[in-house]
Structure 1
């Protein structure tokens, strides 16, 4: 009783508790396919039993051939062949079932992880590098999905094989069964001792793998800058440094695996030789037949290998639970906050198209305790207005945009949108439906021009797309393409200049016809004439729109109804005199 309590206490603490929780999480997915998995296990057990039956059949065949048994040779041979053919058929069915379940589980976990990443708290997710996200989304998910079908079925089938082999040997020679089991306590002690080390190595391997993927992904994203600054040699050397770190960890893990595997193999080899020697002795003394000796030769290796296979499930389980733990980290992150979702629904159904007002009243925000980005910030923007946010780099313009988009939430004060009926709704992820956003830089995806446009409005007609392109001053260059709006676009807008890509992004935002348009340095790659023309078109589309722009360029400020200066934590509504001074000083 005390021993059981001690085991339970150990499971509930430290590494074993972590593995238990991770295993429990993994098998929430296995439950959904329990009947298919049970059928798969049944087929595995049948295959194992048929293999054992063939081994026993070979004993009687040899005894019949040598005249030590008067069995029907032809019948025994047919039985062995039938077992072999049937085993091939069962294996084929098992493989198809395995592939079907594996891909379903893999896709299900991957989709859930992907969805979780999309709705997770924005600040928390910034802690993960995109390369690490990709590694977890693909590598770790694949490991978990494979183990769901591989671990428990393997445990059952290998246990059946081990027990079956042991039972046959025990039936024919109890002493040999004892010899065959000699490796069991050694292997159990070794696996228990090395479990923590295996888990540590698995974590290190996952980490360095993520580092390699992160480096490659980031360098390919910025390959133009790498070439422009003639940094090819620098990045090539950095890759080799990252590879060296991966190599050192991998070889260290490989050395550990080789040592432990070699030790296990030596123990298994010793047991096999001991069983073989005992069988030769029994045959020499006339206690067994040649058929029984053949059976012992087959089974002595099987009993050791089957037990070794059971022990080898430990590193497989550690690898799977390590990957599960890395995936579970995402599900521990809180989702982005959705405040006043019912009010947002009401505004969307009753007042869309009539314009929305933005009010920030005495707002304070800080990413951490070391620096306050805003303090006592007040901003108002009305439908039909262009409101500019200006100020030095790094002082909070982009943070203000994130706040308006509900990616971050105010620490104190009020940030609301208000409709024409006076309904107020706190700004959060719920109010993002009212915004169209154009960030600085290239945000065009691979596909066609039309594909990019229809991301925000899947049912948009070609005419609506062309109208948005015209408003963004993008129609002229798109129209000249060989396939017009159906022309192919490369990754990150490949084939278009920065200015063209920006206009396509603006057109996509306009197609959505959202009541609030956020342009975060979104016209920085346009010439002054095009920039002003785009803004005029935006405000003359016959749609009650509130437009907020962040800019370093004062050329657009004369078109704005309000200009707010963000500097040193304060947000100030500046007058026409200061606007003119900004334009003059530029």
Structure 2
């Protein structure tokens, strides 16, 4: 069935690897904006970097004085002071480096936290439609792999960039002050280094985009095939070896991409490194040629100090080149992260939301559907089309129909898991779109046909509905759902861990725990989406008795499939391709001899079998 959310497919401008050819300036501004709340700390880091770089440039000048004056003139006092100065500079620079590293990591981790929290909160705001068509492993990969992949860039790159730029500028000035001719000779190859680095960065960026896609595929495969359901399906279908082979293929492709990413431009970078090692020798040759020709006078101290500065210049430049490569590689990851942050939130809270019951009046739970229309896609036929039903407070509405007739969708419109495109759904006369999310969650409780339990204790699963519930509240809810006797028979009672998705329990037991969880929330409106579908006839009868007592004084919308739940409803709505075909009581609809009567006849009435 079509869904209103587009599948994230990456950037519009792609190369043969599927990655963006060049970064979007808007994305670069968004990346810079991540650091904006921490401007003061970054300014402190900048100050530490500047002081450290300045102090580091003093040592070569001290070394020149040692070689040109203190040692040749045997001035031990000057030698001692110069050496003490070099030692003090080394100690202070090291201390400043520790402080800088700590502060930059604090800022980087705060930025990482902000980014993870922003993505998670945004995903929580998306409607159910997004998650019905997006693989869980894909979502997990965006949060874990993609955000984790930019951690080094976010934590170290900004300060490394500033530190290296400051160092390069300071070293450049110092080299010119020492001897401008040697400086000019040393800077000849820098443009070539920059060009090589851009080529390497672009290649790694392309590979990174594909690699993250492969990691997302692997995460999805692991999440799907190694869950309890996946293992059961693989074993019962005899497809375990095929799944293992598929994983091996994905892993092999990922390993190949990792090798390509690490080897991308390795020869180019090796050429740069060799050039860094060769340059000091060339400086010695240049200085020797100048001295031999008599065109320049360069002292030994100046030459040694210059080559020391040259070493300090080349390492920061090499680091800057590596930073450029890392930044370009991370742009593909940032694009994937921003892609999720930019997903449209189609269900928003009203600007001035209504809080039912805030004025002290009791929430009765009177639900109405007023000419409601809903479609999952603009071009598709509506799933719900012009449905109008009045459900008085405290009554039960059963919804039946063939598969795909819109039963579940109609029930989920009450909880605003989807928004009606036309018409409206109201509770106590208030459009659900005008209610606050908190008020709507307190008012409407859902027990769906797919029971979900967290990998936690029974008590924790129940308290997810009401964190303030007492132990006695838990027992009362469990008793109402006919699950208390089973819980008490367990060695750990309510502290029993249910296992992943509750697979320690049978389907009927999980359903009763889920029903107890909803009972504990005590909502005025109940939506039971085939809530007893996993129960055997005897257990269903016990739970239905509890639900019948619970339904007294509250509104219940039961998406039904068994005659036993339909017969006693105050109203039965029969849906046909999204339209309301019939509405009435069990006896009234049987008497008309329409669709409901046909469903009942098909299912039979003796055994309470399925009607839809």
Q: Place the TM-score, normalised by the shorter chain, in its bin.
A: 0.7 to 0.9
Alignment of structure 1 residues 19-58 onto 2, 5 Å: 19-58=24-63
1:342, 1:37 → 2: CA distance? 38
Question: What displacement does 1:158 show?
Answer: 1.0
1:525-544 to 2 correspondences below 5 Å: 525-541=534-550, 544=553
Tell me the residue number matched to 2:574.
565
C-alpha displacement at 1:281, in angstroms?
A: 4.8
Q: How many residues align?
A: 570
Shift of 1:468: 0.9
Q: Distance in 1 between matches of 2:473 and 2:432?
A: 30
Matched position secondary structure for 1:409: coil
CA distance in 1, matches of 2:519, 2:44: 54
**1:81 match:** 87
Report SS of the residue matched to 2:377: coil
1:92-491 alignment runs, 5 A limit? 92-124=98-130, 126=132, 128-144=134-150, 146-192=152-198, 196-221=202-227, 222-279=230-287, 281=289, 287-338=297-348, 342=352, 344-346=354-356, 349-412=359-422, 414-419=423-428, 422-426=429-433, 430=437, 431-491=440-500
TM-score of the pair, normalised by structure 1? 0.87
Choose from 579, 590, 603 the match for 1:583: 603
Q: Verify the 8 A CA contact 2:372 2:421 in the aligned structure 1.
A: no
2: distance between equivalents of 1:542 and 1:516? 9
State whether residues 155 and 310 of structure 1, in contact with CA within 8 Å, keep that contact through their aligned partners in structure 2: yes
Secondary structure of the equivalent of 2:264?
A: helix
Q: What is the CA distance between 1:169 and its match in structure 2?
A: 2.1
Q: For residues 168 and 465 of structure 1, do their structure 2 counterparts lie closer, same or farther at Cα, with a shift above 3 Å needed?
A: same
8 Å Cα contact 1:165-1:303 kept in structure 2: yes
- Which structure has greater helix proportion? 1
1:132 CA drift (Å): 2.3
SS of the residue 1:345 aligns to: coil
8 A Cα contact 1:435 1:516, kept in partner: yes
Greater alpha carbon shift after TM alignment, 48-57 vs 104-113:
48-57
Deviation sequence 1:209-266 (CA, Å, 0-9, x none): 2222222222223233223333221111111121233234333333323244234334
In the TM superposition, what is the alpha-carbon distance from 1:514 to its structure 2 partner?
0.9
Identify the range of structure 1 (337-346 vs 399-408) with the bigger mean alpha-carbon deviation.
Answer: 337-346
Counterpart Cα distance in 1 of 2:207 and 2:314: 27
Instruction: Tell me the SS of whatever aligns to 1:489.
Output: coil
Equivalent in the alignment of 2:558: 549
Q: Quickly say closer, same or farther: Cα 1:472–1:360, change in 2 above 3 A.
A: farther
Distance 2:269 2:409 in 1: 54
| Partner Cα distance (1:90, 1:340) in 2 | 51
Q: CA deviation at 1:471?
A: 0.9
Whether the 8 Å contact between 2:394 and 2:556 is mirrored in structure 1 is yes
SS in 2 for 1:469: helix
Does structure 2 retain, via aligned residues, the 8 Å contact 1:27–1:148? no
Shift of 1:350: 4.7
C-alpha distance after superposition, 1:386-426 (max 9, x if no partner): 333333444433333333332222233x231232xx55555
Q: Is the contact made by 1:105 and 1:145 (CA closer than 8 Å) also made in structure 2?
A: no
The change in CA–CA distance for 1:189 and 1:103 in structure 2 (over 3 A counts) is: closer
Query: What do the CA deviations read for 1:193-216 (whole angstroms, capped 9, x no partner)?
Result: 566544433322322222222222
Secondary structure at the counterpart of residue 444 of structure 1: coil
SS at the partner of 2:329?
Answer: helix
**Can you list the C-alpha shifts for 1:63-87, whole angstroms capped at 9, x where unaligned?**
4674267462222222222222222
User: 2:508·2:539 contact (CA, 8 Å) conserved in 1?
Assistant: no
Unpaired runs of 5+ in structure 2? 1-18, 591-596
Q: What are the Cα deviations for residues 268-307 of structure 1, in whole angstroms up to 9, with x where unaligned?
A: 4443442243345567789444433332332223323322
* Cα shift readout 1:471-514 (whole Å, capped 9, x = no counterpart): 11111111223343233333322432222221111111111111
Q: 1:82 to 1:97 in 2, by over 3 A?
A: same
2:519 to 502, 505, 510: 510
Contact 1:191 1:311 in 2 (8 A): yes
**8 A Cα contact 1:415 1:427, kept in partner:** no
- Closer, same or farther: CA 58–325 of 1 in aligned 2, 3 Å: same
The 2-side partners of 1:398 and 1:172 are apart by 80
The whole-number CA distance in structure 2 between the counterparts of 1:526 and 1:566 is 24
Deviations 1:336-392 (CA, angstroms, capped at 9, x unpaired): 324667564245645444232232525342435244323333444333333333334
